[in-house]
């Protein structure tokens, strides 16, 4: 028997994204252990943990709240990726680009899950605010 969250595609994607981010974090200089490494790994872990915790919710709106927290944590990892890029911590930005592209896929799946869980009577975030242009910043 498996837990509900283990069967969710979005949780499986969050775990894959976590592996990518942890691999990136390992390449950061020691001077960034507390400035970038810790926050980005904490945030990426929070994505999958919130999905899991929300899957045991009693109501759809409650689960949607946890998915919203997962989205916030995902956005935090993306902001950290911008810092990594701006400081040129990676000689080859390929892994950074791949993680960024993967974050978009995960973001879309999380948004879709949250939308499917919300009732029409709730206040929703404007999805347009979160859309990015097709250009990859790094």
| pTM (predicted TM-score) | 0.85
The CATH number of domain 4-118 is 1.20.1440.60 = yes
Please write the tens of the pLDDT for every residue from 7-24: 999 999 999 999 999 999
Alpha carbons 99 and 18: distance in angstroms, whole number? 9
Alpha carbons 90 and 116: distance in angstroms, whole number? 38
Contacts 24+ apart (CB under 8 A), 126-132: 130/71, 130/75, 132/104
Domain ranges of the chain: 4-118
Please write the tens of the pLDDT for every residue from 87-138: 999 999 999 999 999 999 999 999 999 999 986 544 444 555 555 556 777 7
- Output the pLDDT for position 124: 44
Please write the tens of the pLDDT for every residue from 38-73: 999 999 999 999 999 999 988 999 999 999 999 999
Task: Report CA-CA distances (Å) from 110 to 13, 66, 94, 104, 118.
Answer: 10, 10, 24, 10, 12
Alpha carbons 55 and 63: distance in angstroms, whole number? 6
- Output the pLDDT for position 121: 46
Alpha carbons 39 and 9: distance in angstroms, whole number? 25
Cα maximum dimension of the chain: 49
CB 44 within 8 A of CB 85: no
Residue 37 has pLDDT above 60, yes or no: yes
């Amino acid at each position: 028997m498996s837990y509900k969250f283990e069967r969710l595609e979005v949780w499986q994607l969050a775990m894959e994204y976590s592996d990518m981010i942890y691999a990136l974090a390992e390449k950061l200089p020691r001077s960034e252990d507390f400035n970038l490494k810790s926050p980005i790994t904490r945030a990426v872990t929070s994505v999958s943990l919130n999905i899991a915790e929300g899957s045991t919710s009693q109501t759809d709106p409650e689960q949607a709240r946890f998915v919203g927290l997962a989205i916030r944590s995902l956005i935090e990892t993306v902001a950290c990726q911008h810092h990594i890029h701006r400081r040129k911590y990676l000689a080859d930005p390929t892994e950074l680009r791949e993680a960024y592209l993967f974050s978009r896929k995960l973001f879309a799946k999380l948004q879709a899950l949250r939308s499917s869980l919300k009732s029409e009577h709730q206040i929703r975030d404007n999805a347009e605010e979160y859309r990015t242009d097709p250009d990859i910043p790094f």
